[in-house]
Structure 1
Amino acid sequence: MTDALDDIAGILERTGEYRVLRRLKPFAASGEPADEPTYLGLILDTETTGLDPATDEVIELGIIAFSYGASGRIYRVGQRFNQLQEPSRPIPETVTRLTGITDADVAGQRIDDAAVEALAGRARVIIAHNARFDRRMCEVRWPVFATRNWACSCHQIPWREEGHEAARLGGLLADHGYFHNGHRAIDDCEALLALLAWPLRRSGRLGLAALLEAARRPTVRLWASDAPFALKDRLKDRNYRWSSRRRCWYIDLDEEQIEIERSFLSREIYGGILPGLPADRFTARDRFSARSDPET
């Protein structure tokens, strides 16, 4: 029956009038021996009771372990881990509608903390599709995540430059002709693993190679101290953000962009005289953590 359906799908696609989405199957590495040093990576996704790490809780944790080389090739897929957790209060209806996870599903369930810490403790890098959210949720419960390198496949791969309209996981899969059961932790992990293993649409680079390159680069947060209020729109147009805690505009940049940015600030903001501006340097060890939050 599957072969017959594939034939029908192929006929529809060849007309040019239809696009067919196929269900994504779990990724399987080629099994070829590695010709470079390999490392352990984790793909991670959480489902939670809400968006606030201080008050909300993880109700599902999905992890896929894999070995990879610096080239971005994935050589082996290891343990697949997926567990539910009963929270301290009922799951909000909005979360159940989004994920399908009910109070009955999580009743009596608990994520194995020791197993999670053992996996994370051996990882060279942990990848999430919104690392700013997943990292902070995980660090509250499992402190080991604060000591790991993290990478964000949503914001550290140039999806738009590679021909995609947006970086939403389901949309990226659809652009490749696939769909998955979104908003369940292990299914989102499977989707991300496949995307990282495939070549990017325009450059042809492996998705994981592009992500690792971005994650390895330090970033610098430059603070535009005492910038004139009248020039705030010029800063906003250049993608500066406002920190309400520090009462200051800031921008996050790759290190090689700093001198260009200082020249802009001197010329356009400070009237040719550049004050000594504070700057913070981040690497994959602290990027996306609450430690790097400009509001904390």
Structure 2
Amino acid sequence: MSTPLDSIATVLEETGDYRVLRRLAPLEPLAVPPDEPTFIGLVVDTETTGTDFGRDEVIELGILKFEYGASGRIYRILDSFNQLHQPSRPIPPEITRLTGITDAEVAGRRIDDAAVAALARDAAVVIAHNASFDRQMCEGRWPVFADRNWACSCHQVPWRDEGHEGLKLGYLLIDHGYFHHGHRAIDDCHALLRLLSLPLRASGRLALACLLETARRPTVRLWAQGSPIETKDLLKARRYRWSGRRRCWYVDLDEERIEIERSFLSEQVFRRPLLDLPSDRITARDRFSARTNPEA
């Protein structure tokens, strides 16, 4: 944006009657070299023919490879990757309306699997804004993603505690005064990386630092195996979810809450001492994977 237009935008904002959105620009490298240990991260986004992991296919893959520090500072973008792929069946009209990707655009295109594997091989973490979706779409096609650590910028950053109402990438960018061309893979990657480089509204912590701290923390999936059917509303109110595959209610918890939850189940659900309930320890290596999907 030119200096005169910047000045106009500033004048409008200072009145308190206007909010101005600025077009998001790709993240610029930091002017100073790293003064801390650094690591390699990936921001990944997929566009797909639908949401059925067994049937639908990736039609566009976007990846930004970046260098970040132990503090959560993002130093520079190392590589950018964006390719289209022709699926085995026509792209549904609703997907074309959402993404703008047409059958003609993907005709004869194929994502370079070897290039994807090379990009991901040295990544300490892979980040997506809906990792439970993107990870399962990616690891079925590119095995390199199956043994990476994953983090979800949508659900592993406390956006609402930081003063945001919506969790969608576009909403979060608007709250920070930006807009971007969404629903294309590489554009969403640039938007997400920029968002992660910014300080959070309330705490002032870097968004990436907060995300990494949460992602590194193991969680426990506790199964309320054999719970009485009449307690289902009680379990739902406590944010338990139903696994159709295991025919059982479950909840994901931080490790320090496991004994509190066992006490709740013993006193209010089973109404008897519990000698043992099944539980699974989940880390970033498995979280959001098909391996830990209770419906898979």
TM (norm. structure 2) is: 0.98
Letter paired with 1:139? E
Contact kept? 1:31, 1:76, Cα under 8 Å: no
1:72-130 alpha-carbon deviations (Å, 9 max, x no partner): 11122110111111111111110111011111111121111111000111111000000
Letter paired with 1:215? A
Equivalent runs, 1:141-290 vs 2, <5 Å? 141-290=141-290
| Count, aligned residues | 296
Distance in 2, Cα, partners of 1:166 & 1:211: 17
Letter paired with 2:132? R
Q: Which residue of 2 aligns with 1:70?
A: 70
Distance in 1, Cα, partners of 2:277 & 2:16: 56
Q: Which residue of 1 aligns with 2:99?
A: 99
Distance in 1, Cα, partners of 2:228 & 2:88: 47
Letter paired with 1:282? I
- The sequence identity of aligned pairs, in percent, is 70
1:123-170 alpha-carbon deviations (Å, 9 max, x no partner): 110000000100111111111110111000001001100100021000
Task: Report the Cα offset of residue 2 of structure 1.
Answer: 2.1
Letter paired with 1:18? Y
Distance in 2, Cα, partners of 1:228 & 1:89: 45
CA RMSD of aligned residues (A): 1.1
Q: Which residue of 2 aligns with 1:123?
A: 123
Task: Report the Cα offset of residue 18 of structure 1.
Answer: 1.0
Letter paired with 1:194? R
Letter paired with 2:112? D
Q: Which residue of 1 aligns with 2:294?
A: 294
Matched, 1:140 2:127: no
Letter paired with 2:6? D
Task: Report the Cα offset of residue 31 of structure 1.
Answer: 3.3
Distance in 2, Cα, partners of 1:103 & 1:88: 11
Secondary structure in 2 matching 1:50: coil
Equivalent runs, 1:3-152 vs 2, <5 Å? 3-152=3-152
Letter paired with 1:245? R
1:60-81 alpha-carbon deviations (Å, 9 max, x no partner): 1100011112211112211011
1:233-261 alpha-carbon deviations (Å, 9 max, x no partner): 11111000111121111000111110111
* Unpaired runs of at least 5, structure 2: none
Secondary structure in 1 matching 2:96: helix
Deviates more, 1:149-158 or 1:85-94: 85-94
Distance in 1, Cα, partners of 2:295 & 2:50: 19
Distance in 2, Cα, partners of 1:38 & 1:9: 37
Secondary structure in 1 matching 2:280: strand
Distance in 2, Cα, partners of 1:121 & 1:28: 24
Letter paired with 1:251? V
Secondary structure in 1 matching 2:67: strand
Deviates more, 1:62-71 or 1:39-48: 62-71
Task: Report the Cα offset of residue 272 of structure 1.
Answer: 4.0
Task: Report the Cα offset of residue 275 of structure 1.
Answer: 3.5
TM (norm. structure 1) is: 0.98
Deviates more, 1:48-57 or 1:264-273: 264-273
